Structure formats: structure tokens, C-alpha cells
Amino acid sequence: MSKLLDTPIEYLKGIGPAKGKSLRKDLNINTFGDLIEHFPFRYIDKTVILPINQINDAHSEVQIKGKLMRFSQEGAGRAKRLKATIHDGTGSIDLIWFQGASWMQNILDQGKTYLVYGKLQKFRNRYSIPHPEIEVISNLANAAALPTLAPMYPSTDSLRKKKLDGKGFRKLTKALIDQIGPNDVPETLPKYILDKTRLIGRLEAIKRIHFPASAKEKEQAVNRLKFEELFFAQLRAVHRKFKNYREIPGYRFEIIGDKFNQYFHDILSFELTGAQKRVLKEIRSDLKVGRHMNRLLQGDVGSGKTVVALMCILMAIDNGYQACMIAPTEILAMQHFVGMVDDAEKLGLQIAFLAGSVKGKKRAKILEALALGQIDILIGTHAVLEDPVVFKNLGLAITDEQHRFGVKQRSKLWRKSKPNPPHILVMTATPIPRTLSMAFYGDLDVSKIDEMPPGRQPVETVHFSESKRLRVYGIMREAIAKGRQVYVVFPMIEENEDLDLQNLQRGFDLLSNEFPRPEFDISVVHGKMKAKDKDYEMQRFVEKKTQIMVATTVIEVGVNVPNATLMIIENANRFGLSQLHQLRGRVGRGGGHSMCILITGFKLSKEAKFRIKTMTETNDGFVIAEADLKLRGPGDMEGTRQSGDLNLKLASLVEDEKILAFARKLAILIIEKDPKLEHSENDLLRKHIQTIGKKAQGWSHIS
Ligand code: ADP
Ligand code: MG
């Protein structure tokens, strides 16, 4: 980027230290360049003006034009406010300022005509507009020169107080945009791509996205920038993937040996599904060729990923390597450990568990044995990634529920083995919509378990309001009478922890009354408990000593108690869709009829209703994941896109699936022809991904 765009934001005329500090803090705008890339999240069409008498409840925001008639200061102290009334010949409406009242009174003139834009508020059947954007019409006299679409920028309360509202940003950005030229905003796409895609140039796009002369110009600008964003992300991912193929050798697991065969023939108690067999073959073909494996294993909750993982571990061991498996929580890791311990023993293998709670001598012993190669399988949490944990020869690392692992952690795994990185298998239970998996895992090969073990019946899902609690108790009683077990799950979020804990406690008390000892017994597990106590309670449930498990979302992922057939989710409206799906996946594992009851109050938001409805209508994880993405994806608060890790400024994984798919296809085509991007026609591409690469952290030792 040019010197100009590298200039610290404080130096921009009209900003200065105070505003600069807020811009840095609130919006991560540190330089002129960042401001240029602070894109509008929508536009107001300056040509659409609503007559005041036509305003109704269907409008949330309006643009009106009228004469400013009357000022009045109202209230006192903190409630002090300025009211101004606008007339447009059809009616009148009040504009209200709670802050900066005297300033506004200074700059506004009675009798002049203004263009007013803002959010409507209704009080005692009269509309008003608090803190509107307001411009005197004489300033707009030269209307032809002005854009008809005025950009609206994401902002925050504290910035708005410093006059960095829509209008403020517009002014700053306009001044900056007028200064920039092709040297400041160099093209990133080679001509052949511009020709092929008919996209407009980068500088043009940047100018037009802020100040489009028409809706068409806006579209062109947005398309160009969205494409660029998605294309380079894909180009990097595909580039990395090809580079791995070419350059990163992997341990060669040549044989299918005794342990694998013994497990498959003598220990495994069920027939693998076709999907499990296919996936194992895919993995096997990666592992035997001496190339590094970097593979994502996708499969809905309950599809049987664990057994696949174990069989991969056995492949590693049969070829003389150690293997590890990492889960995001201690409970989950422990469960994998417990689930494998018997099989390991039968196979004569050494298996160990490592998590934060494993300390002192015990830990030291494990670390020593691990380094000496006396441990074949290590199961654990993030603790496995820590530096003192040294393997003798780690050949395979599996992570369960990868979405909770950051890129950094994934890269730590790579360094756990020399000379090659261990083969990596990433397992995820949440079905990932196609776009997400392209976007997040573009550099991984993907295997899918798309078939459930036989005999599974879909879980019947019903929605009950709190008033039907007695009926819920009845259903619980029935299940327990049949020897089945029940989960009762309460929400728990950090911001609300104390209250949530109280709710859980109250729920537990109610249940203890309803299902008293000694006839019944209840386990309780929540995030605030010590790991030891959690495990104890879990274990009692696993051993059927308790019939009911009251828990927070700690059981969300992975817990496997096939005898549990009833899942009750309290305050179900507070859970996200994929969370609900995960929770429901805890039942319906043993064959036979299972049920999931979603309990909520009467009043539900539109979104919550949609989530509950989706859950009661489908068991298909992919349908649910797509719905979830639709709900959360564009759920941007005032234009701030929640794209998390991906850092997408413009593109949306929901709306721009087509652009993404196209970008990926093109990226693959280019890399296939020119894997190292050495051809001169790809100079721009190579340079730009190097620039991006330098900015991105954590990947350096991978790519
Ligand atoms: P997830 O994919 O959610 O991790 P699990 O691996 O925990 O699923 O498997 C869910 C349950 O299904 C376990 O009880 C497991 O033993 C069982 N299971 C896995 N594969 C099969 C199969 N092919 N036939 C029957 N049961 C299976
Ligand atoms: Mg699992």
C-alpha cells in the first residue's frame, strides 16, 4: 500500500487524537487505508422522500424533507432535550436531541428547509425522530453532483457522540477518496481475470463503493470487492493445499497390521456402515503414499466418527507410530479415553490421558513414558499441545470438534513430530454448510460420513411451554420406568452465569422433589464444578446409578450414553440451532424411540420461534446447519459482520455462495496450471497473497 494509506488515522484532517483513539479502539481503524476499507453497510437513497402524513408503523426509518418550524428545550438536568418540528405541507414531525442540544440549536435555522433521515420512534401515537441526520437543502442545491445513494457506515455510540455518525464518516471518507489515485490503490487482479470476470478495477471499485452514482455502480463495486475477498482467501487455501501435496512429505503407513485386524475381526461388535468403510479407505489411501494428510472428517452427531478415529489410530500404531486425540473439553476427552481403554487393553496397547487436571508426579510419569515411546495413544485436551509434551514419534493427531480449535493450535500440532508433521485428521460433528467448509477448510481434504448406523430412529422433537411441566414429568416417569435415562439441560452463558446457576439449582430442586431418593437419583454437572466432581457425577450416570442428569451445555458435544432416550432442554429459546441439534444428538443413540422436549416460556422472539420450528420439523443436520447460518450469518448488528476468523468485510457466506464457488473454481484452475504462481501473468496474485500472508498470523510455519 502507498505511504498515504499507511498514514496513522489521527493525521486525517478532522480526526485528531481523541477521535483517532476511538476509531482505533472501536472499529480497528488505524490508518487512512483502514478508513478506506471501512465500507458502507448500506445506502440511503437520497431521492426517495416520504410525505410526513404517509408515515406509518411499517416504516422503521424514513427520509423526509420539510421546513424547520419551532425549537423548544424541554426537560431539565439529564432529561434535558431539544425538540424541533419539521413541516412538509402534509404534516409535521418532531426531531429530538438528547445530547448536544445547544450545539444543534446553534447550527439549525428556523424557517429553512432540511433533508432529514433517521429512525422512527413512536410515543403517545406521535412519531418522532431522535438524533436524525439532517442537512440543509441549500447545501444540496448542487444536487446533480451529489450521489443519490448516501453511504451508511457502521459506527458505535461513542463515535457518534464524537460526530462520527453516517454523515461524519461520509465527510471524512469523501475527502480521503478525492485524494487517492492508482498508486495508492494498486490493482490486485491480473488483467486476464478482470477480462474473464468483467469486474471493474480496484481503485474504481473503492471509489464507487463509497460514493456510487447509481445502484448499478454500487453493485459493480460491491461485486468486485466481494469477489476479491473470497478469491484471495480461496487462492491462499488452494495454494497451501497444493503446496502440501507437493512439498510436505508424510510418514508412510505401509501396512494394515495386527492391531487393526484384531480390532476389526475380534473386538468391533458391529458392522461398519458403508460410509464409515468408505471414509476409512479415503484416509488409508492418504496415509500409505508418503504424503502428509490434512483431512477433515465430517459426520453428523451420532454418525460414528469415534470408531473411525480409533481405527486410524491403530493404522498408525501398526506402522510403529504413536497417535493422539484431542478434544475441546476435559469431559469429552475423558469420555474418549474411557471409551477406548478396554479396547486398548485387549489389544495390549498403552493408552494415557492428559489434561490440565493431570498434575505432579502423574503428569511427569506420562510425559516421560510418552517421550520414550512407551505410550501408544495419548488422549487429552489442549494440554497435549503444550511444549513440554514431547512424543517419541507422533504419526497421527486427531482433533475432535475442531471448530473450537484455533488455527494457532492446529499449527502447534504440526510441530509435535520430526522430521515430518503428524498426519492430521480433523473431526467435526456439526455439519458444515458447503460454503463454510469451503471457506474455513479450503486447504483440507474432506471425507464425509453421510449415513447413520442402522436401527436409528429419528428423535421425536416436541415443543412444550412451561405450563406443561407436569406432562413433562409424566413423560420422564414413563421413560425411567422403562429403565431409560433422561438429560435435563439448562442454558449457561458467561454474561449471565450467576443467574443461570440459580436457575439450574432451582430446576434441580424441583426435580429432586418430583423424583425423590431413594427411588430416584440425579446427577448434576455444570461448568463451575471441579473436573473431579464432574467426572464423578458423569460416571454415576454412565453406570446407570442415576436416572436423571441435570446439566449445562457441558454435555453439548460428544457424551455417549446410549441408554439415555429423553432429552429435555429448558429455556430452549436461548440456545442456538446447532447447539440444540448437538444436544438432541445425545439421545437416539441406542436404537428404540427417543424424544427431545424443548421447553420455553410463552413469549418468543421471531428468531427463537424459527429455531424451535426448525428443530421440531427436521432431524437433518445439514438442513439445520444451513438454517443456522442463515439466521446468524447476516445477523449483522449495524453493519458489523460477524465473520469471525474469516475476517470478511463484505462477502457473506450465506448470500454470496455463488461468488464463493466461482472464486474457488477459478483459484483451483489457476493453481493447477501454475502451482507456485510463477508465471508472469500471475505476478499480481503472487505479490498480493504474500502481502496478505504477512498480515495473517499463525500460519507462517504451515505455509
Ligand atoms: P459421533 O460421530 O457423534 O462422534 P459416535 O462415534 O459417538 O458418534 O457414535 C455414536 C454411537 O454409535 C456410539 O454408541 C457408537 O458405538 C455407535 N456406532 C458407531 N458406528 C456404528 C455402526 N456402524 N453400527 C452400530 N453402531 C455404531
Ligand atoms: Mg463424537
- Collect all residues with Cβ–Cβ distance below 8 Å to 185 and sequence separation of at least 6: 2, 5, 36, 202, 203, 206
- pTM value is 0.67
Which atom number of ligand 1 is nearest to the Cα of residue 400?
4
Angle between helices 657-673 and 215-247 (to 10 degrees): 40
- Give the mutation target among 264, 279, 307 for probing the ligand 1 site: most ligand atoms within 8 A of CB: 307
Instruction: Give, for 128, the enclosing helix (H) or strand (E).
Output: strand 126-130
pLDDT value, residue 259: 97
Question: Please, are residues 43 and 151 in contact by the beta-carbon 8 Å criterion?
Answer: yes
Residue 48, classed as helix, strand or coil, is coil
- Note the Cα 140 to chain centre separation in Å: 43
Among candidate residues 155, 217, 209, the one with its CA nearest the CA of residue 639: 155
CA of 297 to the centre of ligand 2 (A): 11
User: How far is 151 from 168, CA to CA, in rounded Å?
Assistant: 11
Q: Which grid cell is 107?
A: 447550527
**DSSP β-bridge partners for residue 566:** 486, 595
Within the chain, how many helices (H) and strands (E) appear? 24, 22
- Give the mutation target among 270, 280, 305, 306 for probing the ligand 1 site: most ligand atoms within 8 A of CB: 306
User: How far is 492 from 570, CA to CA, in rounded Å?
Assistant: 11
Residue 445, classed as helix, strand or coil, is strand
CB atoms within 10 A of CB 394: 26
pLDDT 10s digits, 209-261: 999 988 899 999 999 999 999 999 899 988 888 887 777 889 999 999 999 99
CA of 427 to the centre of ligand 2 (A): 8
pLDDT value, residue 457: 83
Neighbour-count burial for 364-374, b at 16+ CB within 10 Å, e otherwise = eebbeebeeee
CA of 643 to the centre of ligand 2 (A): 26
Q: Which grid cell is 136?
A: 440543509
CA of 396 to the centre of ligand 2 (A): 18
User: How far is 340 from 562, CA to CA, in rounded Å?
Assistant: 16
Residue nearest ligand 1's atom 23 by CA:
272
Instruction: Give, for 23, the enclosing helix (H) or strand (E).
Output: helix 16-27
Kindly tell me the sign of the dihedral angle through the C-alpha atoms of 580, 586, 588, 589.
Answer: positive
Residue nearest ligand 1's atom 4 by CA:
305
CA of 236 to the centre of ligand 1 (A): 35
Residues with CB under 6 A from ligand 1: 270, 272-273, 276, 299, 301-307, 429, 453, 560, 562, 589
Among candidate residues 464, 685, 433, the one with its CA nearest the CA of residue 568: 464
Whether the upstream peptide bond of residue 675 has omega within 30° of 0, thus cis, is: no
Residues of the chain with pLDDT under 70: 1-2, 138-147, 402-408, 430-432, 434, 440, 494, 554-559, 632-647, 696-703
User: Which residue in this structure is represented by grid cell 441549500?
Assistant: 138
CA of 308 to the centre of ligand 1 (A): 9
Residue 293, classed as helix, strand or coil, is coil
Residue nearest ligand 1's atom 20 by CA:
304
Domains and CATH numbers, the chain: 47-146 (2.40.50.140), 211-456+635-703 (3.40.50.300), 460-618 (3.40.50.300)
CA of 353 to the centre of ligand 2 (A): 17
pLDDT value, residue 140: 53
- Collect all residues with Cβ–Cβ distance below 8 Å to 129 and sequence separation of at least 6: 62, 93, 94, 95, 96, 116, 118, 119, 120, 121
Question: Please, are residues 611 and 189 in contact by the beta-carbon 8 Å criterion?
Answer: no
Residue nearest ligand 1's atom 15 by CA:
304
